Amino acid sequence: MPRPLPAVPPATTRPQPLGVALVGAGMIADVHRRSAILAGADIVGVLASTPERSRQVAQEWGVDRAYEDLDAVLADDRVHVVHICTPNATHAPYAEAALRAGRHVVCEKPLAADVEQAQLLARLAEELGLVATVPFVYRYHPLIRELRARRMAGEFGEWYLAHGSYLQDWMLSPDTSSWRVDSELGGPSRAFADIGSHWCDLVEWVSGESFTEVLAHTSIAIPTRPATTGPSFSGPTAPDGARVAVQTEDSAAVLLRTAGGLLGSTVVSQVSAGRKNRLWFELDGAQGSAVFDQENPETLWLGDADGHRVLVRDPGHGSAEQRRLSRLPAGHVQGYAQCFEAFVADTYAAVRGELTAAQREGLPTFTDGLRSAHLVDAVLHSSRDNAWTKVES
Ligand code: SOE
């Protein structure tokens, strides 16, 4: 006679899992899905690009509902949180519809194709008292939290310089294309809105500084690309098919400065051979410097007048936030996936009203999505006008 299983505690003693709908079914939607599952959510259903694709993905993911359209998602009262992982042009209308239907929203960046839409969304989430976040997930590397804690403790003194780059090569082949190339689907900026946004968000959040002016130039290295598009990072699509003129930038070089005189520079590129997802920055201050490389997130380079040392991520060392986000022992490498998992878990803690002060401070919301829209807008205007341009706030 097998030993009876321990009684499963009734649902009343365990938090009801949040009901989550995924809108979008590409690579990043699956990252959202896995993170949501690890955060204890119930993935209720998925809306993909067509009803047939929705049914196919629902079966692959083993979820109940394959939605026909967004109305069906928002009519499903099991859904508490909507994750929007579709091409950029639908982010704002989908996020607005979900907020107005009383849902909490996780919306992929960029939040919106222009400042006006981003302003409306940030204001709407605030007015409705709903949680609305944007995955600037590199904030969740434990050593980024350590660096920010040390900055807040005054370890580096006044900042003099912020510099770096964010380099990828998945658009290097002239025969690669993406929905991002079409400004109608991807918005007026491609590389800077897609990844320059991460660089600026991370450097501003870690340094405590806010850039007030930019001098930028964007560049289209490859003037035409195939009309046929493919998923991000998937390589050449249709090398001998029809081609279309490219309207959005492959790269950008940007000078930045703050009201307090901090000078910054960054290069953003998706055509840098051999660079896969290399977000890198150095912050140089009166008392010391720091370097973080997103492709090597287990270490943090710290410099001072006598030389330099390298910190290694370790849950037994450093700030409370480094310890909280270090789910694994030192030497057991954490990376991008753990950043995303922590971001989604903190989002859901906010939905449940269980957010700690430290979690709240690091959670990137629609307000940060609006900040990013202002930076993108300033970069595009500066490149067009060949002039220093104010970053509105
Ligand atoms: C493609 O450039 C991409 O997936 C971005 O969209 C993500 O935001 C970035 O984290 C990695 O690269």
Residue with token string 């405590």: 208
Q: Determine if ligand 1 sits within 6 Å of the CB of residue 232.
A: yes
190 pLDDT exceeds 80?
yes
CATH code where residue 314 lies? 3.30.360.10
Interval 300-313: pLDDT, tens? 999 999 999 999 99
Residue 9 has pLDDT above 60, yes or no: no
pLDDT value of residue 238: 77
Same domain for 259 and 126, yes or no, is no
**DSSP-based three-state secondary structure for 330:** coil
Count how many domains the chain has.
Answer: 2
Distance 107 CA to ligand 1 centre (A): 14
Strand duo 251-258 + 211-219: pairing:
antiparallel
Closest by alpha carbon to 110, among 125, 131, 94, 89?
Answer: 89
Mean pLDDT in residue range 10-35: 88
Q: How far is the centre of ligand 1, averaged over its atoms, from the C-alpha of 201 (Å)?
A: 14
Ligand 1 probe mutation, 141, 189, 277, 368, most atoms within 8 A of CB: 277
Look at residue 37 and give its three-state secondary structure. Answer: helix
181 and 302 together in one domain: yes
The residue written with tokens 């390589």 in the block is 235
pLDDT in tens, 353-384: 999 999 999 999 999 999 999 999 999 999 99
In DSSP terms, 292 is beta-bridged to 281
Structure token digits, residue 129? 């008292």
Q: Closest ligand 1 atom to the C-alpha of 270? A: 2
Average pLDDT, the chain: 96
The CB of 194 under 6 Å from ligand 1? The reply is: yes
pLDDT digits (tens, 9 = 90+) for 51-71: 999 999 999 999 999 999 999
d(CA 309, CA 169): 30
**277 Cβ inside 6 Å of ligand 1:** yes
Final residue of a structural domain among 98, 133, 168: 133
Q: Would the pLDDT of 389 be above 60? A: yes
Q: Which of 32, 169, 194, 340 to mutate to test ligand 1, by most ligand atoms within 8 A of the CB atom?
A: 194
Measure 252 CA to ligand 1 centroid, in angstroms. 16
Name which residue sits closest to atom 10 of ligand 1, judged by CA.
195
Within a domain: 1? no
- 8 Å CB contact between 112 and 359: no
> What's the length of the chain?
393
pLDDT in tens, 201-244: 999 999 999 999 999 999 999 999 999 888 889 889 877 889 99
What is the pLDDT averaged over residues 152-167?
Answer: 98
- The per-residue b/e assignment along 239-257, b for 16 or more CB within 10 angstroms, e otherwise, is eeeebeebebbbbbbbbbb
Asked if residue 345 belongs to a domain, the reply is no
β-pair partners for 245: 224
143 and 125 within one domain: no
For residues 365 and 135, give the distance between their C-alpha atoms in angstroms, rounded to a whole number: 8
Helix or strand or coil: residue 88?
helix
Give distance in angstroms: CA of 195 to centre of ligand 1: 6
Helix (H), strand (E) at residue 215: strand 211-219
> Which among 278, 208, 221 has a CA at the least distance from the CA of 250?
221
- Tell me if 194 sits within 8 A of 136, measured CB to CB: no
Ligand 1 pocket residue status of 108, Cβ below 6 Å: no
State residue 113's pLDDT score.
95
CB distance 41 to ligand 1 below 6 Å: no
Structure tokens at 137: 């997930």
- Give pLDDT tens digits for 98-109: 999 999 999 999
Same domain, 118 and 98: yes
